[in-house]
Chain A
């Protein structure tokens, strides 16, 4: 599998009145063709900003401040606006957490798909409509030829997400960025969407960058997982390795806090003590150390770098030994 996306030292910040908020502080990773990589972490750790940074869509007062984003050999932070526009939708597609909010309420679903088809694939009006119907059908929407004329508010949540997915893949992107695609949906619908994404990945040979805090979805879909905390990566591993044997204390905490059915109903639910710190006043050194059970004074000077601790595993912790 060859490398599709390589991110080096990506940094993005928000320039607020109260100070500079470093939402993404030096992240490096790569995504290969046709592979699914998950980016996990608690709400508010900066995952969404990573996604927006890839497409350079961070709303002001934020922007990308450093690093390289090499997609298919091009550094997206250096290319011109026109080329970037082509990559958006054509090279990388994005789906969102709230599908209802991602659809323009005053245009029909069909119009919004056709728009992208005509722009990225140069289809004529009639061909685009035909293709739109086909795409809607492929994403599991019944009676697509009627639904094409429908407005977003007429769809249920699950159907809206399918429509958003249809729009996202209509430009035949090589990478699909899925930002919390299932979080806002009912549990049963979640499973359907996950299946749909896996199916489409096969069909269209896409890579998927899955951003979520739902571990169940991660296990189902991702081959590799990256764990993020306060804007930095703290652990990267193959999915099974991570779940079987998490090394970083934060990862351990995350996994422990998933309630399990059937086991020990008398045991209290576990939560990582403390709370995600305010980005404007981060703890010194390893930002996790106030909440960490194995941290000590040596963790307070500098944030640990993400080191290889074995083949296919990286961890950013002073207390974890590499083998």
Chain B
């Protein structure tokens, strides 16, 4: 088992390397001078040419490509992601500030996805053809098809503006500082509800559909029949024997939904004025803040790789067929 984890970790390294490489190539294939990524064009005219030379040398831009590549990697590993044009601060510091907010949304959305998606999927499959099943199937398809930003706006319209149940934006209220610690907690949660819901409900719908079809497949398997033939209680048959098998591919899908959620976070953060990575990336694009653009994409990719890694390891824990060495059958 440990060997499997190590094996996967080792496999992830070339992937991370590849991510850095791809980003590097994009920098150099983009129209314009790669220097644009280190120093804003409009300032270059006014700055002392010697300073420009120094910066060029620091990033090795006058050297052959492979040398630059090595320097680039070196910088990355030291955590130097460049400096933001718009904010005039190291990108790594900026990222450190915003990532936690994005993670809040994403992790909670994943939880929502798992709980609701799996539960509804199970109910739907067990009570096939019932009213609940049909409702779930149809509504999950509809929810899955809605554009996230539109759903967010409509929900804000109904629940925030008209009903006033939830705040329209921000992470905390204006009077946050004056609340008790419990009040603070409630306030944070209150602000989290709408964004997390919009972010997670689409993937929950997808999970529910997938879980339903997987469970229906599994329920047709011989070992479910055999379990019933042994006199096991129906609940045990379904929840223990069937669901356990059905969940296995769900875990992979789950891991794959992280990139999807990160992308969705960009839109959600924009609408709810949530100070996360997505919003940072977006403002960077509008401001032509290249270092930030590149860094956020890379970090998003790294997070995805980590997410997949966790998913793979969990998969191996759940499915005994994966991590075992091939033993000779007796």
Do A and B touch directly, given a CB cutoff of 8 Å in the complex? Answer: yes
Interface of A with B (CB < 8 Å)? 52, 55, 57, 59, 85-90, 93-94, 96, 98, 101-108, 115-116, 119-120, 141-142, 147, 151, 153-156, 159, 164, 167-168, 171
- Cβ–Cβ contact B231 & A89, under 8 A: yes
In the assembled complex, B228 has its CB within 8 A of some CB on chain A: yes
B243–chain A nearest beta-carbon distance, Å? 10
Residue of A102, A120, A156 contacting most chain B CB atoms (<10 Å):
A102
30 contacts between A and B (CB under 8 A): A52-B225, A57-B225, A85-B232, A86-B231, A88-B228, A88-B231, A89-B229, A94-B229, A101-B221, A101-B222, A104-B244, A105-B223, A105-B320, A105-B321, A106-B318, A106-B320, A116-B231, A116-B232, A119-B232, A119-B233, A147-B330, A151-B320, A153-B321, A154-B324, A154-B327, A155-B329, A155-B330, A164-B226, A171-B230, A171-B231
In the assembled complex, B245 has its CB within 8 A of some CB on chain A: yes
CB-CB nearest in chain A for B222: A101
- Cβ–Cβ contact A57 & B228, under 8 A: yes
In the assembled complex, B126 has its CB within 8 A of some CB on chain A: no
A195–chain B nearest beta-carbon distance, Å? 18
CA distance A48 to B279 in the complex (A): 62
In the assembled complex, B80 has its CB within 8 A of some CB on chain A: no
Known: A86-B231, A107-B244. 5 other contacts (CB 8 A): A89-B231, A94-B226, A103-B226, A106-B244, A171-B230
In the assembled complex, B248 has its CB within 8 A of some CB on chain A: yes
CB-CB nearest in chain A for B229: A94
**B window 67-115: CB within 8 A of A:** none
Interfacial chain B residues near A142, Cβ < 8 Å: 330
A313–chain B nearest beta-carbon distance, Å? 32
CA distance A108 to B329 in the complex (A): 15
B43–chain A nearest beta-carbon distance, Å? 61
CB-CB nearest in chain B for A60: B128
The interface bits of chain B over 216-252 (1 if a CB of A lies within 8 angstroms of the residue's CB, else 0) are 0000111101111111110010000100110010000
A48–chain B nearest beta-carbon distance, Å? 11
Interface size class of B (residues with CB under 8 A): 20 to 34
In the assembled complex, B319 has its CB within 8 A of some CB on chain A: yes
Interfacial chain A residues near B324, Cβ < 8 Å: 151, 154
A225–chain B nearest beta-carbon distance, Å? 24
| Residue from B230, B236, B320 within 8 A of A88 (CB atoms) | B230
- Cβ–Cβ contact A103 & B233, under 8 A: no
Interfacial chain B residues near A106, Cβ < 8 Å: 244-245, 248, 318-320
A74–chain B nearest beta-carbon distance, Å? 15
The interface bits of chain B over 295-330 (1 if a CB of A lies within 8 angstroms of the residue's CB, else 0) are 000000000000000000000001111001001011
CB-CB nearest in chain A for B227: A104
- Cβ–Cβ contact A102 & B232, under 8 A: no
CA distance A122 to B222 in the complex (A): 26
- Cβ–Cβ contact B223 & A151, under 8 A: no
CB-CB nearest in chain B for A104: B223
- Cβ–Cβ contact B222 & A102, under 8 A: yes
CA distance A154 to B328 in the complex (A): 7
The interface bits of chain B over 193-234 (1 if a CB of A lies within 8 angstroms of the residue's CB, else 0) are 000000000000000000000000000111101111111110
- Cβ–Cβ contact B320 & A96, under 8 A: no
Interfacial chain A residues near B223, Cβ < 8 Å: 101-105
CA distance A94 to B226 in the complex (A): 8
CA distance A115 to B223 in the complex (A): 14
Residue of B220, B248, B320, B330 contacting most chain A CB atoms (<10 Å):
B330
CA distance A96 to B226 in the complex (A): 8
